[in-house]
């Protein structure tokens, strides 16, 4: 089955700096890669996703890049703000049956 890994488990950046969170997956048949943000006491919220037919997608301060050859994708957050502090999960589908497998999450802290 699909194996999704995120490293490192924590990331701390200064407000205004950029943050990059990386994710690797194992199933070459995967073609859908979402990123979820989870704030304390809440459920994960979809913030951006990408499909395998594109290499990059951008939405205001966030972007996702995909490298299918290397089987990794990354979340880029520019001009970070304290409200970006949260746990970020990447996920990948399992090809034909499309169930999502989530990474363990990374805790992003934005220092004011």
Give the binding site for another protein (CB under 8 A).
Answer: 32, 34, 36, 41-46, 49, 89, 93, 97-100, 102-105
Q: Which residue's entry shows tokens 């090809």?
A: 95
C-beta of 39: minimal distance to another protein in Å? 10
DSSP 8: -
- Comparing CB distances to another protein, the nearer of 36 and 80 is 36
Residues contacting 38, CB < 8 A, separation 6+: 44, 45, 86, 87, 88, 89, 105
C-beta of 27: minimal distance to another protein in Å? 13
- Comparing CB distances to another protein, the nearer of 43 and 112 is 43
SS3 content of the chain, % helix, strand, coil (to 5): 5, 55, 40
- Comparing CB distances to another protein, the nearer of 37 and 77 is 37
C-beta of 60: minimal distance to another protein in Å? 18
- The two most distant CA atoms of the chain are separated, in Å, by 44
C-beta of 18: minimal distance to another protein in Å? 26
- Comparing CB distances to another protein, the nearer of 25 and 36 is 36
CB atoms inside a 10 Å sphere around CB 77? 23
């Amino acid at each position: 089955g699909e194996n999704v890994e995120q490293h490192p488990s924590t990331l701390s950046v200064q407000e205004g700096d950029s943050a990059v969170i990386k994710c690797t997956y194992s199933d070459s048949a995967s073609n859908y890669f979402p990123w979820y943000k989870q704030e304390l006491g809440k459920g994960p919220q979809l913030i951006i996703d990408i499909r395998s037919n594109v290499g990059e997608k951008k939405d205001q301060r966030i972007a996702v890049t995909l490298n299918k050859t290397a089987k990794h994708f990354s979340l880029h957050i520019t001009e970070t703000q304290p409200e970006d502090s949260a746990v970020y999960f990447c996920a990948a589908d399992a090809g034909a049956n499309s169930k999502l497998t989530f990474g363990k999450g990374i805790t992003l802290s934005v220092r004011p």
